[in-house]
Amino acid sequence: MHPVVKTVLERLGLGLATLFFVSIIIFSAIEMLPGDFGQAILGQAALPETVAAFRQELGLDKPAHIRYFDWALGAIQGDLGTSFSGRNASGADRSAEVVDKIAPRLWNTLFLASMAALIAVPLSLILGILTALYRNSFFDRSVNTATLTTISFPEFFVAYILILFFASLNQIFPSLANVDPDTNLGERIYRTALPAFTLTLVIVAHMMRMTRAAIINLLASPYIQMAKLSGASQTEIILKHALPNAWAPIATVIAFNLAYLVVGVVVVEVVFVYPGVGQLMVDAVRTRDIPVVQGCALIFAVTYILLNLIADIIGIVTNPRLLHPK
Amino acid sequence: MKDKFIKAQQEKLTLGAIDRRQFMTSAIAAGIAIPTALSLASDAIAATPKKGGKFRMGLGHGSTTDTLDSGTSENHFTLVNGYTFGNHLTEINNEGKLVGELAETFESDDGKTWVFNLRKGVEFHNGKTMTSEDVLASYEHHMGEKSTSAAKGSLSPVKSIKADGKYKVIMELDSPDTDFPYIVSDYHISIRPAGDMTSGVGTGGYIVQSFEPGVKSVLKRNPNYWKEGAAHFDEVELLSIVDPNARQTALISGEIDAMDRVDLKTINLMKRNPNINIMQATGTAHYTFPMRLNVDPFGDYDLRMALKWAVDRQELVDKILLGYGAVGNDIPIGTANYFHNSDLPQREFDADKAAFHYKKSGHSGKIQLSAADAAFAGAVDAAQLMANSAKKAGIDIEVIREPNDGYWSNVWNNDAKGWCACYWGGRPAETMMFSAAYVAESKWNDTMWKTTDSAVKFNQLVKDARKELDESKKRDILYECQRLIYDDGGLLCPLFNSYVSANSKKIAHGKIAANWDSDGAKCVERWWFA
């Protein structure tokens, strides 16, 4: 078997194992939360019988390991269970399937994440390469200062500054990113512009500096010296000789930031009133809607694992030493 | 007299009942100079509602568990949304008075049997004509044994409900209650077509186009709306914007036209914006410090009186509510209530009177006052301010800061604590408020004011008031009830908190109702674009 295929398969297996452990951690972390969910949802006025009936209805009376396997088996088949909330003391059921609750929100989150990534990733790669090319120049210093400044501010601050300049003082973009499934693409892009810029400003520094560092690091290696001595131009050296060897660390940091775009944008969602999955999860925690919390946590875990896996694979397949084994 | 006549004519002009020429003629006939009459006319015309436009409102509530079933309505978003697409048998108008809505008239001979005469020719959004069948089905939805409606409790006095023909509904109560028509105006008890209580089909001024729980509700004007002079916008978008900062930014940048719940900390910055109006309505919501008569030393009349005189209410309004509220007068009835007793002199800080009563009570030592911000925002600070002003009268109040967690079970309405901080949302009818917390049999009677002579008399009077059909007699009884609480009760009510909201200056409206935030939660059907 080709070593690349073998490594990829190995990584996939490891990814699945990680997911299994993460699912156990999610389940037991929520299990260890103090208090009784039945009682918490029904309120203090609830009678003990009602609480017992409620627990039975939700299956909370079964032992933890059985509940875990029920949940995990369901999750494998794409069934994340039924949301707790929407029930009340008298047993009315206006609860929804977790999948139905998460799906539209997840689509919104992925849309915003892709918007931000489409701007941020090329921007930081180009800036990273350029700053490596013209390192220690005025350009390099100013780009570094600017990106470090934006990453140093908390994202809500960056968001409010953008709102102040682009929505309040000059009404160029809307401050509310309220989209719904009927919003057309152009309108959607326009509405999500400010949150996407905010996220871009927050993640560019990390990716750009990693690109710059990885390339500069390589520029000191003997084979680059060799290329230089054989008369290759600076651009040629960086694009042709340095960059292929730098992909692994760059891909890792890009994957890390993309994962952050999916799972870590609650604050931005709240500021721009964007109906994403982060807000849903916070809402679910507040209303103690455990199946939704578990579902969101699992999706976040899958996102992290998948993106890191892809980064690993990119690192492997772009590594010339692995690509051309002796 | 003349002013009253001109005002009435102006109102008629505003509503379009008379035209400009007729107004001018009547104004001149009443002896008004022509230029004055002209300006009066244009004032009135500026106030004439105009149709059209898309109204977008940001609300500080909303959750993914919200539904269109009015029985589950539990926050201000569902409340406003529900009043926008649905109607009720009765409604509280912007003057705070109860009037018929889907019931054209309602009457009772004894307060026990209530007859609601339904409006004819009202259509649901699905084209069905509203009849008694729908009213019955809607009430069943809230009253049935298996009902999960939050209004189940308030409808429990209803013994039976039946239809008499297509346009008459008769409800029988288990004991007389002349304020029962107030209960049916409750936002939970919306009238829906029989067989469809949950999909959001109503008789209201707007038809639900899409509803995304916790995000937004989109509605458009109902072209067949029966109510005259209501529902002026073409389209409506209600947005759930829980973050106050996002809500305010959206209003400033013109993304929305109105918002509820302005953050008082930044209100002065909002005020500077030339395009924004800040509105406040002082309603029935109030903050209280109930003293439990069955816990020493609060059983003593003079000690209660001493504490009532020892509070600087204006200071509390200025510092705790930042001016957005009104001083309370130790009665749980506010100026927004119809039978608010305005004859009672406003209690103010008076060190001499406080000291006099305190001395007479013979009490010495510290008096403990428990507070936590769970009671209301700023409760602990309010207690400190009270301790400070009481010191000037020689009364020593020790403020105990209680944990927020478990405040309502361990501190409030608990004999372990004689005096604590509390809040009430208030009730539209006086007897409803008394029943909630001041009659002897109430579980929420947090002052335990039950056995003094005044309390016994009060309990009898509340029963009489529920039976009384004559308005002026009822007024006398309710005024007396309020006086009894004012003098003898264990209630120390220093504050009525305001609903503070903001809207774009493009919005025009009439008098703002105070029974709920957002113009009685009916702003969507009452407001228009100027």
CA distance A110 to B238: 25
Find which of A21-35, A169-183, B165-179 is predicted with most confidence, using mean pLDDT.
Answer: B165-179
Query: What pLDDT score was predicted for residue A43?
Result: 47
CA distance B366 to B418: 13
Query: Could you tell me if A172 lies within 8 Å of chain B, comparing CB atoms?
Result: no
CA distance B254 to B231: 22
- Which residues does residue B500 pair with via DSSP β-bridges, in sequence order? B280
pLDDT at B463 over 70: yes
pLDDT tens digits, one per residue of B329-349 = 999 999 888 899 999 999 999
Q: Once rounded to an integer, what is the mean pLDDT over residues B307-318?
A: 95
Query: Could you tell me if B330 lies within 8 Å of chain A, comparing CB atoms?
Result: no
* A271 contacts B245? CB cut-off 8 A: yes
* Band (A233; pLDDT cuts 50, 70, 90): confident
Q: Once rounded to an integer, what is the mean pLDDT over residues B283-291?
A: 93
pLDDT at A251 over 60: yes
* A287 contacts B63? CB cut-off 8 A: yes
Query: What pLDDT score was predicted for residue A90?
Result: 40
Q: Encoding tokens for residue B483?
A: 């006086």
* Band (B527; pLDDT cuts 50, 70, 90): very high
CA distance B121 to A255: 63
pLDDT at B268 over 90: no
* B241 contacts A176? CB cut-off 8 A: yes
When scoring A161, A266, A273, A282 by the number of chain B Cβ atoms within 10 A, the one with the most, hence best to mutate, is A273
pTM assigned to the model: 0.80
* Contact (CB, 8 A) for B255 and B475: no
Q: Once rounded to an integer, what is the mean pLDDT over residues B314-337?
A: 92
Percent of chain B with pLDDT over 70: 91
Facing residue for A271 by CB, picked from B64, B216, B243: B243
Query: What pLDDT score was predicted for residue A98?
Result: 86
CA distance B166 to B423: 43
Query: Could you tell me if A158 lies within 8 Å of chain B, comparing CB atoms?
Result: no
Instruction: Calculate the average pLDDT of chain A.
Output: 84
Query: Could you tell me if B214 lies within 8 Å of chain A, comparing CB atoms?
Result: yes
Contacts of B151 in chain A (CB under 8 A): none
Mean pLDDT check: name the lowest of A20-24, A158-162, A276-280, B88-92: A276-280
How do the domains of chain A map onto residue ranges?
1-96+289-326, 101-286
Q: For chain B, how are helix, strand and coil distributed in percent, rounded to 5?
A: 35, 20, 45
Instruction: Calculate the average pLDDT of chain B.
Output: 89
Give the residue, B503 or B373, on which the prediction is more confident.
B503
CA distance B113 to B160: 10
Neighbours of B114 (CB within 10 A): 24
Query: Could you tell me if A244 lies within 8 Å of chain B, comparing CB atoms?
Result: no
* Residue burial B401-418, b: 16+ Cβ < 10 Å; e: rest: ebeeeebeeebbbbeebb
pLDDT tens digits, one per residue of B126-171 = 999 999 999 999 999 888 777 777 787 788 889 999 999 999 999 9
* B67 contacts A283? CB cut-off 8 A: no
A&B contacts, CB < 8 Å: 80
Contacts of A161 in chain B (CB under 8 A): none
One-letter identity of residue B125: H
Query: Could you tell me if A44 lies within 8 Å of chain B, comparing CB atoms?
Result: yes
* Band (A46; pLDDT cuts 50, 70, 90): very low
We find that the CATH architecture of domain A101-286 is Orthogonal Bundle (1.10)
How many Å is the maximal CA-CA distance in chain A?
85
Q: In terms of residues, how long is chain A?
A: 326
* A283 contacts B212? CB cut-off 8 A: no
Q: What is the ipTM of this complex?
A: 0.75
Tokens 């340095």, residue? A242
* A176 contacts B255? CB cut-off 8 A: yes
* Residue burial B335-361, b: 16+ Cβ < 10 Å; e: rest: ebbbbbbeebeebebbbebbbbbbeeb
* B250 contacts A180? CB cut-off 8 A: no
* A163 contacts B249? CB cut-off 8 A: yes
* Contact (CB, 8 A) for A192 and A186: no
Query: Could you tell me if B63 lies within 8 Å of chain A, comparing CB atoms?
Result: yes
* Band (A94; pLDDT cuts 50, 70, 90): low
Q: Which residue of A has its CA nearest to B215?
A: A275
CA distance A216 to B284: 69
